[in-house]
Amino acid sequence: MLDTALHHWQDGDRRFGQAPVAQRRALERVIERIVAELRWRLGSSFTIDELVECYEESPAWSLGLALQASPAEPMAWEQWVSDAAFYRHLRRARDWPKALRSG
């Protein structure tokens, strides 16, 4: 599952980088909100496997956070935005260099 998740996360990060400048502020609000939720759910010390497990459950809660953070920007509600947040949070995992070997 790590390889699949990592592929989605990297794609989300790439899409964020290619997003129109006018929409970046709304996208950044959603990413920051999801990263904050990940910090709350996983704590300060977590592994990539725990992040992947959280990712599997994320569709149940990430859309609601996106709607709250950017209610007027439908692009910010797309799954790839959540994926970008997971990619950003990946570097905080205790074993994040493992992802470099997988990717």
Burial track 15-39 (b if 16+ CB lie within 10 A, e otherwise): bbeebeeeeeebbbbbbebbbebbe
Tell me what the mean pLDDT of segment 33-51 comes to: 96
How far apart CA 61 and CA 49 sit, in angstroms, is 19
pLDDT digits (tens, 9 = 90+) for 6-26: 999 999 999 999 999 999 999
Does the reported pTM lie above 0.85? yes
**Which residues, 6 or more positions from 45, have their beta carbon under 8 angstroms from its beta carbon?**
94
Task: List the chain domain ranges.
Answer: 2-102
Select from 27, 46, 44 the least CA-distant residue to 36. Answer: 44
Select from 101, 76, 99, 100 the least CA-distant residue to 23. Answer: 76
pLDDT digits (tens, 9 = 90+) for 43-84: 989 999 999 999 999 999 999 999 999 999 999 999 999 999
Tell me what pLDDT residue 34 has. 98
